[in-house]
């Protein structure tokens, strides 16, 4: 079992490849569809995911796809279950298993992620459906008092419990401690909060017997708050993020797959590129983007079947740029060039 987990974790961060996060909840995908004036029906959601999953050649750049509970049970228009469709292309199917961040009792403005009850049984079903990796997201807000030690340790404990159950089921866990960038805080404040969350997380993973060689980390990049007046530039973000990771993430972790966290497509790619240009690092530095990979595709598609090919080209292009960022070879000038 351990060897299989290690191999899957390494395959997810294989050279030049990263992960597509297509695990939007029903509420989140509705917001995405609202932006193109499309009703969020099950059939429209299935058609959109099929567009992404069948993009010609995208397996060159995408190693795995995180699915939502609805999506892992759906099939393509030809009847092929989505997990099989992906696996047949050499793309590893994954599954989001947390049930969302809920208010943390007696901690105003802070959250804890729920979903541990019945998780062992859900993992058994997801494994049968084809999932070979999973994801659990915890969120932490920054202000003068937050994140509190209470919030940091409560979420770290839940992430540890989730990861242990995932590995027990033969499924690689991606642990996602996301320090939110809403607010006007400095990059220094973000670095402190991010480091604190990661330190607690790896303490819990060790204490709960999680095999780090079969685990991936999905962190936020260290950014100034989105409302900050003087926001840090690409080089400062790369250096601050790498400093936090070097201090807190064991070298046994095979890969770090960043979330985009509301960044523009270009910013998410540029920041990843700047970090890899400063390599080599103890871990593979890759991506696990949702909106930052999908935004051009959903805009091109607009819900019209006639636009599928153009939308797939837009998705392929974005995946290619992020693949280049994995080796530090992305340049902003690529954005203006033809596909």
What are the catalytic residues? 176, 218
Which residue bears the tokens 């062992």? 120
Segment (H or E) for 176:
strand 172-179
Which residue bears the tokens 């530090």? 328
Could you give phi then psi for residue 73, rounded to 5 degrees? -100, -5
Rounded Cα distance between 30 and 172, Å, is: 29
**Structural tokens at position 110:** 């802070």
Segment (H or E) for 335:
none
3-state helix, strand, coil in the chain (%, to 5): 50, 15, 35
**Structural tokens at position 305:** 């079947």
Rounded Cα distance between 53 and 90, Å, is: 11
Q: Reduced to 3 states, what is the DSSP secondary structure of residue 179?
A: strand
Q: Reduced to 3 states, what is the DSSP secondary structure of residue 119?
A: helix
**Structural tokens at position 21:** 């996060």
């Amino acid at each position: 079992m351990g060897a299989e987990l290690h191999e899957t974790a390494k395959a997810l961060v294989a050279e030049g490849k990263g992960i597509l996060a297509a695990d939007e909840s029903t509420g989140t995908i509705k917001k995405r569809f609202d932006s193109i004036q499309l009703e969020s029906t099950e059939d429209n959601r299935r058609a959109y995911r099929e567009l992404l999953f069948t993009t010609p050649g995208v397996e060159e750049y995408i190693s795995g796809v995180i699915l939502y509970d609805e999506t892992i049970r759906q099939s393509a228009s030809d009847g092929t279950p989505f997990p099989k469709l992906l696996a047949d292309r050499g793309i590893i199917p994954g599954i989001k298993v947390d049930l969302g961040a809920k208010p943390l009792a007696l901690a105003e403005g802070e959250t804890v992620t729920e979903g541990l009850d019945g998780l062992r049984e859900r993992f058994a079903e997801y494994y049968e459906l084809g999932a070979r990796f999973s994801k659990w997201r915890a969120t932490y807000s920054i202000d003068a008092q937050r994140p509190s030690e209470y919030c940091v340790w409560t979420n770290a404990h839940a992430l540890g419990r989730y990861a242990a159950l995932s590995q027990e089921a033969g499924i690689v866990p991606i642990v996602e401690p996301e320090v939110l960038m809403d607010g006007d805080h400095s990059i220094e404040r973000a670095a402190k909060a991010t480091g604190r969350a990661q330190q607690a997380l790896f303490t819990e993973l060790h204490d709960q017997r999680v095999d780090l060689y079969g685990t991936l980390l999905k962190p936020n990049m260290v950014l100034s708050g989105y409302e900050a007046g003087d926001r840090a530039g690409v080089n400062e973000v790369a250096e601050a993020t790498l400093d936090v990771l070097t201090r807190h993430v064991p070298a046994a972790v095979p890969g770090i797959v960043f979330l985009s966290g509301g960044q523009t497509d270009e910013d998410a790619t540029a920041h990843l590129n700047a970090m890899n240009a400063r390599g080599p690092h103890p871990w593979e530095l890759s991506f696990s983007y949702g909106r930052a990979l999908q935004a051009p595709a959903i805009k091109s598609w607009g819900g019209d079947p006639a636009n599928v090919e153009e939308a797939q080209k837009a998705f392929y292009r974005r995946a290619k740029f992020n693949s280049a960022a994995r080796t530090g070879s992305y340049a902003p000038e690529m954005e203006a060039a033809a596909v």
